[in-house]
């Protein structure tokens, strides 16, 4: 998976806002929209499994405050305008 690792430890920001900001950076650098975001299992909220079309998943190997965004291999790349 080609991806982007994002760090944001600001306690005042919502997790969804952090994912949106990371996704914006992903689109700017890789010219496509991410389809999945992994975050630390302890920070995962089961009530929020999607943010703006990006699937949110827990990852036991993801450090706290880190977000790993990427495109699943079985997902067709979606170009941004």
pLDDT of amino acid 37: 97
Per-residue pLDDT tens listing for the chain (81 residues): 678 999 999 999 999 999 999 999 999 999 999 999 999 999 999 999 999 999 999 999 999 999 999 998 775 555 554
pTM for the whole structure: 0.86
Three-state DSSP state, 47: coil
Beta bridge partners of 55: 36, 50
> For the chain, how many residues are written?
81
**Straight-line distance from the first to the last Cα atom of the chain, in angstroms, rounded to the nearest whole number:** 22
């Amino acid at each position: 998976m080609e991806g982007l690792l994002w760090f944001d430890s600001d306690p005042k920001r919502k997790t969804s806002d952090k994912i949106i900001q990371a996704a914006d950076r992903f689109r700017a650098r890789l010219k496509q929209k991410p389809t999945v975001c992994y975050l630390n299992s302890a920070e995962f909220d089961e009530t929020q499994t999607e943010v703006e079309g990006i699937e949110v998943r827990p990852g036991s190997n993801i450090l706290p405050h880190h977000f790993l965004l990427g495109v699943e291999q079985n997902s067709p790349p979606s170009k941004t305008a």
